[in-house]
Amino acid sequence: MAEEIIEQEQEQVAQHFSLPDTNNEEGGEHSFLGASFGKSMMWLFLLSDAFTFTGLLLGYGAIRVKSEWWPDPNLVFNSMPFLHGKDVPLGFVTIMTTILILSSVFIVRAVQEGHRMNRKGVAIWLIWGIIGGLAFLGCQAWEWSHLIHSGMRPFYNVYYAGADGQTLKLAAAEIANHPASPGPSMFAGSFFGITGFHGLHVTIGVILNTVALIQTLLGTYHKRGHYEMVEKFGLYWHFVDLVWVFVFLFFYLI
């Protein structure tokens, strides 16, 4: 008796999530513009999230163009773990970018395996994607702690302009003598704010992918008949990658 009810409910859920075979371009009551409601609503959320990040980057850009001087990112982001004291401009952040793009590719592979209902393939690629996300978060934690140890705070920036406009760094012992930030304080504020907000997105993405992995291993999606949840979480994960491409441009390259 109970099993019958469960079966009926599962059927109802499957009907709810499945799409009709034919659909007109306008969408209407069945789906939104040819994509399932789940996917299209994720798209709309991502569009609104893109507005949020655009706002943050615009604020950062406005502060930066109004400043007389801005620290050179090549001289700020020039340290590498295990290479203490070595000068490697942009080296570490290039590794971080590569990790995030590759983890995005792994999630695409998981989605593709989901289309062929290959449960094992989905699980393996999801694990790779999660490892990539965790590695990126670890790199970011290292970079943040490195900057904080050198005296950077959300409203305190140790990098200041020399006489010829070159980027100088306040020594750790000197910080106590400078209660006000020697350089543009919003250099630190915008960096911690925007990379932090992006890091929050990465954290949420890793959690979502872990949920997808658990449900894949439990066989939830296999019973449901499709792996659309992996696809929806995947969209979110690619968006995180997309935002990082712009953060990389605005904070590190330019």
Interface residues with another protein (CB under 8 A) are 25-27, 32-35, 40, 43, 47, 50-51, 54, 57-58, 61-62, 65-66, 72, 74, 89-90, 94, 97-98, 101-102, 104-105, 108-109, 111-112, 115-116, 235, 238-239, 241-242, 245-246, 248-249, 252-254
Give the shortest CB-179-to-another protein separation in angstroms: 26
Q: Between 153 and 226, name the residue whose CB sits nearer to another protein.
A: 226
Q: Between 34 and 154, name the residue whose CB sits nearer to another protein.
A: 34
Q: Between 105 and 127, name the residue whose CB sits nearer to another protein.
A: 105
Task: Name the 3-class secondary structure at 62.
Answer: helix
Helix and strand tally (H, E) in the chain?
Answer: 8, 2
Residue 195 CA to residue 122 CA, distance in Å, equals: 29
Q: Which of 100, 174, 176, 187 is nearest to 136 (CA)?
A: 100
Give the shortest CB-253-to-another protein separation in angstroms: 5
Tokens of 12: 């109802």
Q: Between 151 and 205, name the residue whose CB sits nearer to another protein.
A: 205
Helix (H) or strand (E) holding 169: strand 167-169
Give the shortest CB-2-to-another protein separation in angstroms: 37
